[in-house]
Amino acid sequence: MLNLLLQTDFRNKVSNTDLKKNRQQSFIIEYLYQNGHSSNPELAKLLNMSSPTINKLLSELVNLGIVQELGYGVSIGGRRPNLYGINPNVKYIISIDIDCRMIKMGVFNLQNEAVSDIITYFDNVKNKKQVFEEIFKRLDDLLVRLDFKTSQYLGIGISLPGLIEAKTGKTYGDLLIDGLSLEEAFNKRYKLPVFTENDSRVMAIGEQAFGAARNKENVLCINICDGIGMGMIVNGKIYEGKSGFAGELGHINVVEDGLLCTCGKKGCLETVASGTALIQYAQNGISSGKQSLIAEMVNNNIDEIHVSTIIEALENGDAFAIELISQAGTYLGKGIAGLIHIFNPETIIIGGKVASAKHFLLDPIQQSLNKYTIHRIKQDTEIIVSSLEGKVKLLGAVAMVMNKLFEKERELFT
């Protein structure tokens, strides 16, 4: 990370001694970013180095403007130690969350704080070229308002649904712009490192860095939006599978010979428990004369029904909305039961638009788990709703960029 912060390639420009020092300073930067702050004694212990040497490394980083002094820590005998942290505004990260119906973007500093407005807009355009032209336009406007130099940005992190190869960043589907891949198109336009990742895995990265998965080893993050995906933390690491396609929870079969799914198979979990399924069931019910607040809220125009409509009706005690969410939760619980038996996770975090139903969704999930799981295994797992909802994927994309850059930095020094 030090070479990126200074816009320098150390491999060709420094001696072996300096390379060792740069490696040590890069470790300090990574540790401070991930932990917020640290002291000389703590860093000396972690690096197995003397206090004077650590002081020298820290002083250089302070003089470079990369690290800053934060005051004093708690004394455990003797003088109170100086605390150090990353200078949050030495560099910035562009974060973009592309959903099937909504797009968010913002710029964050190295304390993961938004330094720009969070741009949110709904996009129903089916032409992918137009979708990305609009993203480029809005991002260009945002960056012009900030007026930072290109060199002040570390990179761009993009969260999006669908299959994405872990090693290459290749997206499957029609996410091509003038023949370029998503990463190539953004890199060509903004001249910055670009990293893409499946949105459910980005959710897991965000929860691991900032949410309920922090300091936990085995966590499943279930993302219920238009579809249903899952990000997995196994033994403290994000699990990707062979190609990066792990976590397609929405395409496990839960209904024998059920409805046709977008994947071409029948009876997938997505057909009965996703946001898309909820909307379809709501539309069918209203069309068949079901009495509900949902119909009043959209003036009987069923095309205007969204997940947020159902959630609002639910919160106002609407029986039909409760029925819809209860059915989705029952099927989700059936799918989650299998996950508990296979993974034995300590925590399952429910996120995405449908998770806004909170206990209305969790209660039927728990009822299904009571029916389908072995109690001794189930009792080890807590199921909660994400506390980061609405921003988890933007934050996750920021953490993804930093993780990727730290990984590249470690490779540079090996």
- pLDDT at position 54: 93
Q: What is the largest CA-CA distance in the chain?
A: 78
Listed in order, strand segments (DSSP E) in 178-268 are 194-198, 219-224, 228-234, 237-239
CATH class of 92-203+393-412: alpha beta
- pLDDT at position 337: 97
Domain boundaries, the chain: 2-86, 92-203+393-412, 214-387
306 vs 52: CA distance, rounded Å: 61
220 vs 202: CA distance, rounded Å: 12
- pLDDT at position 127: 67
Give the alpha-carbon dihedral of 208, 212, 213, 217, to 10 degrees: 150
Q: DSSP string spanning 266-321?
A: BSBTHHHHSHHHHHHHHHHHHHTT---HHHHHTTT-GGG--HHHHHHHHHTT-HHH
The superfamily (CATH) of domain 214-387 is ATPase, nucleotide binding domain (3.30.420.40)
Q: Of the CATH numbers 1.10.10.10, 3.30.1280.10, 1.10.3720.10, 3.40.50.720, which one belongs to the domain with range 2-86? A: 1.10.10.10
95 sits in which H/E element: strand 92-98
Give the rounded distance of the alpha carbon of 344 from its chain centre. Answer: 22
Intrachain domains 2-86 and 92-203+393-412 with the same fold: no
359 sits in which H/E element: helix 359-372
Q: Do the Cβ atoms of 330 and 371 come closer than 8 Å?
A: no
User: For the packed helices 319-343 and 359-372, what is the interaxial angle rounded to 10 degrees?
Assistant: 50
Q: Do the Cβ atoms of 279 and 313 come closer than 8 Å?
A: no
What is the pLDDT tens value at each position of the chain, 414 positions in all? Answer: 666 666 555 455 556 667 888 888 999 999 999 999 999 999 999 888 999 999 999 999 999 999 999 988 776 666 788 899 999 999 999 999 998 778 999 999 999 999 999 999 887 655 677 788 889 999 999 999 999 999 999 999 999 988 888 777 777 765 555 656 788 889 999 999 999 999 999 999 999 999 999 999 999 999 999 999 999 999 999 999 998 899 999 999 999 999 999 999 999 999 999 999 999 999 999 999 999 999 999 999 999 999 999 999 999 999 999 999 999 999 999 999 999 999 999 999 999 999 999 999 999 999 999 999 999 999 999 999 999 978 999 999 999 999 999 998 877 766
Backbone angles phi, psi at 389, to 5 degrees: -55, 140
Residues 6+ apart with CB under 8 A from 81: 39, 40, 41, 42, 72, 73, 75
Give the chain's length.
Answer: 414
For the four alpha carbons of 186, 187, 193 and 195, in that order, the dihedral sign comes to: positive
